[in-house]
Amino acid sequence: MDALTTAATPHPGGLGIFWFFLIGVLWIGYFFLEGFDFGVGILMPFLAKDDLDRRLLINAIGPTWDGNEVWLLTAGGAMFAAFPLWYASVFSGFYLALFLILVALIVRGMAFEFRGKRDSAQWRLGWDLSIIVGSFLPALLWGVAFADFLHGVPIVHGGTWVGGFFSLVKPYALLGGLATLSLFTLHGATFLGLKTTGDLHARAHQAATVIAPVAFTVVTAFFAWTYLDAAHTHHEGLVPPLLPIIGLLVLASVSWLTRERMDGWAFVATGITIAAMTATMFLALYPRVLVSSHGASNDLTIVNAASQPYTLKVMTIVALIFTPFVLGYQAWSYVVFARRIHRPGAVPQEQVTNGGRDVANATN
């Protein structure tokens, strides 16, 4: 009987490992790109002094926010196809949290599209509030969810969920949520340092210098708790100590880089920290995909949560063919919309023209 069970158990081997780390890369890409979108939305009530400032902030991310969300769809689709049991368990137990995230993203997307449809200050303020809340909730809840993946959730054999919503709201998970919230907000501030001019640019710099030490403190606490928890459970995964150290060092440099007006490097620094934090969580998970709070025997792993080898093989071929095209197109779109934005009539920080016409001005 044991021999038959072993023979029937999927054994993805190298392809399962490949897809686990590819999904990790997809989530890094999503958090890096959508992270500054969330940060801009969260900062809107603090940086914008009038309706035109709010319009400028929206214009800063307007050409790319929907393309950034494609990374979420790709990461979720890859989880569904490569590790269906992981996907099913997450959507069973995290249903309410994921529902809130999806509603927030939908309302936020509607706000970008409908804000300028009526010439009414009250109308625009209502949609601006949707952007703020729709940015805040995902920035917080994604960190809570991924921290729960690592810390442990109430699942038993086969990924069956035996807990409730409040079993997800634990101190470690909340710290993870605060880490992503503060880091994405800082990422948004450094992005605005690249995209804005004048007073809005100065306010973005000031925000970055205020948020940077807060983000550093919270992320340091999260990294420390992650390592202590790994040592307590005798499962340290594959995380090299150098990875979070690099993340913290570059995060510590953000305040100085901002003060020195090295906007590009400040943005790169927050991006590296986001990548380091996400990679740390995935490496600490390996070879598991979802930790059970009811004992290691109930953990979902790369082996017991994976699709059949043939499915993984087909997915790999498709991914290798089409991924370069997607990456190339998105990189091209960022090059096209790399110009700074400025208030109409103001002298742009860097004069960039298209056929002799300034293309950086804000529009309604």
More confident residue, 113 or 232: 113
Q: Is the peptide bond before 287 cis (omega within 30 degrees of 0)?
A: yes
Give mean pLDDT, residues 186-211.
Answer: 94
pTM of the predicted protein model: 0.87
Average pLDDT, the chain: 85
**pLDDT tens for residues 292-339?**
888 888 889 998 888 888 889 999 998 888 888 888 888 888 888 878
- Whether 158 has a pLDDT exceeding 70, the answer reads yes
- Whether 218 has a pLDDT exceeding 90, the answer reads yes
**pLDDT tens for residues 42-92?**
999 999 998 899 999 999 998 888 888 889 999 999 999 999 999 999 888
The pLDDT of residue 346 is 54
Residue from 45, 32, 153, 168 nearest 100 by CA: 168
The band of 232, judged by pLDDT with boundaries at 50, 70 and 90, is: low
Phi, psi of 301, rounded to the nearest 5 degrees = -120, 175
CA distances, 51 to each of 111, 135, 221 (Å): 14, 18, 38
Within 8 A by CB and 6+ apart from 280, the residues are 223, 226, 239, 243, 244, 247
**pLDDT tens for residues 5-32?**
333 434 446 888 999 999 999 999 999 9
The band of 233, judged by pLDDT with boundaries at 50, 70 and 90, is: low
Give mean pLDDT, residues 177-198.
Answer: 95
> Cβ(46)–Cβ(205) under 8 Å?
no
Long-range contacts formed by 7-15: CB under 8 A, 24+ apart: 9/303, 9/304, 10/303, 10/304, 10/306, 10/307, 10/308, 10/309, 11/303, 11/309, 12/302, 12/303, 12/306, 12/307, 12/309, 12/312, 13/309, 15/309, 15/312, 15/313, 15/316
Which amino acid belongs to residue 223? Answer: F
The pLDDT of residue 298 is 86
The pLDDT of residue 228 is 79
The pLDDT of residue 363 is 40
Residue 310: in which H helix or E strand, if any?
helix 309-336
What do you get for the CA distance between the two ends of the chain, in Å?
69
Would you kindly state where each structural domain of the chain is located, as residue ranges? Answer: 13-358
* Beta strand ranges found along 128-174 (DSSP E): 155-156, 160-161
The band of 360, judged by pLDDT with boundaries at 50, 70 and 90, is: very low
Record the tokens describing residue 20, joined without a space: 């686990």
